[in-house]
Chains A and B, each alone.
Chain A
């Protein structure tokens, strides 16, 4: 698939003549009187600096984006004057309530200020000063292999949709780019952690990957957002909290501390987007509930994956001895129930009460020691 501009500009004498005219000092200045609003953006809080919220002004503001974007299909910057034959970008997501969340500008600014760098913000040398027992080291290598698969999908989802979302939603698209950076950074830190100690990577998870692909390729953005930004991100947030709570090293604790803030932003967006979607499109409640009837099973593919479950038990219990495995199993059962409970809380708070419909609570209740 390719797009060709309306002409070959090297063959357009008018363009070449215009360049020469300007270079000879004959400026047209036709843009200087652009028919646009003249506003002045100022930081409302100097500590915070100039934010997107400060620029929510008149025709430039995100508050003025209509629910249905009918006549903006080019890459024109919102609020600028349109003239001439601008290309149609073929955006397929043009309805604000299909993507928007009221917290998206806040989360975008927050994502940038709460940035971190795996190369320098993780005390890697601790792994050499206080090396882990081989059982724990192997479990960590497997866990971080699994987490890379999840982080990759968290990166791929916004990447899949950003070019398809209307350019009017600038702040939304920018936030999704920050999600990609978060996903890339988590992929990086999990990979570095797995490879630092010489244990190498572990084994890929067939069940997790089959399920993650199903979520990633959901038909619509609202469905995919529900799957990736609530189900997957909620699961990952709980997993990071679990590993942080039983962290076998300062390195693992530091990684999980940073990872949980990135995942928490993702679920905050996901919950906000679902709420906004259902407030503006209440008829979608039944459709999304139907989608979840089909898609929730993936949660079991993730939590039930032996490539996650077993290393998580070993790390949670502190090793492979009988008592450690028993303690690990007790902890991981609580973790699984926590994942499902918090998922149901989030969708319910957003307007989609699944507590009577979801098969997950009954299934996880049957998980016994």
Chain B
């Protein structure tokens, strides 16, 4: 059965896959960051806060509005952009260069990264490999939109 994106079920599915594939994430190293994911559809946003600790996703929760001061950064974008990325991952097993988080967020044209502190923003790049591989786990689940 397809798991809908965006939803806490979707992120929790990736959390379980991450826990099951510890060798992959241990090889990438510690990931210690809390960030927001915001998905907009028809001018309405669904917002999530993900907390990663050591090698795992410790917690994910849906919130009414992300408090930017409480997270390192927020990745926000239209549902169509997120969908493009996840479908690309489903097709290729991982995001290709045109559809990974770095490319989509680079100039803030597809996905927008916002932050209260530059050190929070820098964590996106300190942990980019782990964050991208976390989203790449989407290749192992059925996703509906």
Contact = CB atoms under 8 A, between A and B. Distances in A.
A261 B30 contact: no
A268 B30 contact: no
A114 B106 contact: no
Contacts of B145: none
Interface in B10-66: 28-30, 32, 54-56
B4 interface: no
B118 A345 contact: yes
Interface in B95-136: 97, 100, 102-103, 106-107, 117-119, 121-129, 132
A113 B102 CA distance: 22
A296 interface: no
Given A47-B55, A113-B29, A261 B118 contact: no
A349 B124 CA distance: 17
Contact of B29 (A45, A110, A242, A264): A110
Interface in A208-247: 237, 241-242, 244-247
A3 to B, nearest CB: 39
Interface core residue of B123, B126, B132 (most chain A CB under 10 Å): B126
Given A48-B30, A115-B29, A241 B118 contact: no
A338 B113 CA distance: 13
A48 B106 contact: no
A264 B125 CA distance: 6
A113 B25 CA distance: 11
Contacts of A242: 106
A346 B125 contact: no
Nearest to A338: B107
B30 A264 contact: no
Interface stretch (A15-23, A131-139, A199-207, A252-260): A252-260
A237 B122 CA distance: 9
B30 A114 contact: yes
A268 B102 contact: no
B107 to A, nearest CB: 5
Nearest to A248: B97
B99 to A, nearest CB: 11
A303 interface: no
B118 to A, nearest CB: 5
Contact of A48 (B54, B117, B125): B54
A261 B31 CA distance: 11
B126 A110 contact: yes
Contacts of B100: 244
Contact of B97 (A112, A253, A346): A253
A261 B127 contact: yes
Given A237-B125, A253-B97, A268 B119 contact: yes
A261 B54 contact: no
A342 interface: yes
A160 interface: no
Given A114-B126, A247-B97, 7 more contacts: A110-B30, A110-B126, A244-B97, A245-B102, A245-B106, A264-B123, A338-B107
23 contacts: A47-B55, A48-B54, A109-B30, A110-B29, A110-B32, A114-B30, A114-B126, A114-B129, A115-B29, A241-B102, A242-B106, A244-B97, A244-B100, A244-B102, A246-B103, A257-B102, A257-B128, A257-B132, A261-B125, A264-B126, A267-B118, A271-B122, A345-B118
Please provide the 7 A-B residue pairs with the shortest distance between their CB atoms, ordered closest to farther: A114-B29, A113-B29, A264-B125, A245-B106, A264-B126, A245-B103, A47-B54
